[in-house]
Amino acid sequence: MYIVSSYSLAIALCFVTMLCWGSWANTQKLASKTWRYELFYWDYVIGILLFSVILGFTLGSYGELGRGFIEDLEQVSSRNFWSAFAGGIIFNASNILLAAAISISGMAVAFPLGVGLALVLGVAVNYIGAPKGDPLVLFLGVFLVVVAIVLNGMASGKMAQKSKEKSSKKGIWIALSAGLLMSLFYRFVAASMDLNNFEYPEAGKMAPYAAFFVFSLGILASNFLFNTIVMKKPFVGEPVSYKQYFSGSLSTHTVGVLGGIIWGLGTALSYIAAGKAGAAISYGLGQGATMVAALWGVFIWKEFKGAGSRINLMLFLMFVFFISGLIFIIVSGGN
């Protein structure tokens, strides 16, 4: 299988993760013109699973280092299998909430609050589970991200007052709930892998390709419960049915599958990079997606149009603190 050989390459892959995690929601925005997010989400999940299979039989089976994709799945212990599977369940619950928050409050609000909170808590959880990097520098970077989150929350709150949209507050609370859950999923998957040696992983543990596939199975299995509930009792709007899903056009379904593939690529690269960068740094950098999503929301989707100079200053400072925090997180792994 393909294995990352250097810290610098691992950091580069983490930046791709950041772009993917911060950009997949654009497909939801595109689909939302004719398609409810609960229906979009089924295609998104299918896209993640399809990508995990393709990746397993390509990069996961390429080369002489490590165990091949199928061999890795055959030898995994039940404990590690269910750990990665549980990670998929936890992620799915959090991501459905995040998707709901995006549909209510937009990308510029939901991503910085939900994913930003997940970054702060997730880095702590993953560092405790697998310490790697300078903790002082790492958590200084996390602190700067916290400042950015506060600034975004203030800006979104003032924007909600200006537009008098009651649903914005609801979206903020849903985003925060998503962030709490999202901070936990990565550790479950990381625990199922031998992060210290992908070339000759410990018996019973998985390499990133198999772990990502099992993780995807957890997402799909839990979606039959979580998304069915949300379809029948949506956060916003009328209930939707499976009949409506199957009546969707091919182009509409394709957009959702593409969203899943984009997110899946970012997640797989994050797991692959974790062997060199460490789980806390790999996860933390990937969750810089918050800034990427906010950029999309502000400059492409115009979610803060007409915000005024005070709100624009808050948004500018948010980006400055996010960038500064990410730099500290990168430097922490080089020490």
| Span 265-288, average pLDDT | 90
95-99, 136-140, 151-155 — most confident range: 136-140
Question: What is the rounded CA–CA span in Å between residue 94 and residue 113?
Answer: 13
Residue 25 pLDDT greater than 70, yes or no: yes
Q: Which of 257, 272, 269, 267 is nearest to 50 (CA)?
A: 257
**Within 10 A of 18 (CB to CB), how many other CB atoms are there?**
24
Q: List Cα–Cα distances, 88 to 78, 180, 206, 330, in angstroms.
A: 15, 15, 15, 27
Question: What is the rounded CA–CA span in Å between residue 308 and residue 316?
Answer: 12
| Span 208-220, pLDDT tens digits | 999 999 999 999 9
Q: How high is the pLDDT of residue 116?
A: 75
| Span 234-257, average pLDDT | 92
Residue 302 pLDDT greater than 80, yes or no: no
End-to-end alpha carbon distance in the chain:
28
Q: How high is the pLDDT of residue 165?
A: 55
Q: How high is the pLDDT of residue 82?
A: 98
Question: What is the rounded CA–CA span in Å between residue 95 and residue 115?
Answer: 10
| Span 131-149, average pLDDT | 88
Percent of the chain exceeding pLDDT 90 equals: 54
Residue 335 pLDDT greater than 60, yes or no: no
Q: How high is the pLDDT of residue 185?
A: 93
Confidence tier at 227 by pLDDT (50, 70, 90)? very high
Residue, of 35 and 224, whose pLDDT is higher: 224
Q: How high is the pLDDT of residue 88?
A: 97
Provide the phi-psi class of 236: left if phi over 0, else alpha when psi is between -120 and 50, else beta: beta
62-71, 166-175, 178-187, 326-335 — most confident range: 178-187
Residue, of 111 and 9, whose pLDDT is higher: 9
Between 44-58, 107-121, 271-285, the lowest mean confidence (pLDDT) is in 107-121
Q: How high is the pLDDT of residue 48?
A: 97
DSSP state of 252: H
**Within 10 A of 237 (CB to CB), how many other CB atoms are there?**
10
- For residues 287, 178, 95 and 23, what is the CA-based torsion angle, rounded to 10 degrees? -40
Q: How high is the pLDDT of residue 139?
A: 92
| Span 311-326, average pLDDT | 89
SS3 of 284-324: HHHCCHHHHHHHHHHHHCCCCCCCCHHHHHHHHHHHHHHHH
**Within 10 A of 164 (CB to CB), how many other CB atoms are there?**
7
Encoded amino acid at 131, one letter: P
What crossing angle do the helices spanning 250-277 and 37-57 adopt, rounded to 10°?
50
Q: Which of 289, 190, 212, 283 is nearest to 51 (CA)?
A: 212
Between 63-67, 105-109, 133-137, 218-222, the lowest mean confidence (pLDDT) is in 105-109
Between 114-123, 294-303, 311-320, the lowest mean confidence (pLDDT) is in 294-303
Mean pLDDT, all residues of the chain? 88
Q: How high is the pLDDT of residue 164?
A: 57
Sign of the alpha-carbon torsion through 297, 299, 305, 311: positive
Q: List Cα–Cα distances, 292 to 19, 30, 90, 288, in angstroms.
A: 6, 17, 23, 7
Confidence tier at 200 by pLDDT (50, 70, 90)? confident
Alpha carbons within 13 angstroms on the beta-carbon side of residue 48 total 29
Q: How high is the pLDDT of residue 160?
A: 65
Residue 198 pLDDT greater than 70, yes or no: yes
Element (H, E) at 223: helix 208-232
pTM of the predicted model, to two decimals?
0.87
Question: What is the rounded CA–CA span in Å between residue 256 and residue 27?
Answer: 6
| Span 68-87, average pLDDT | 96
Structure tokens at 311: 């709100």
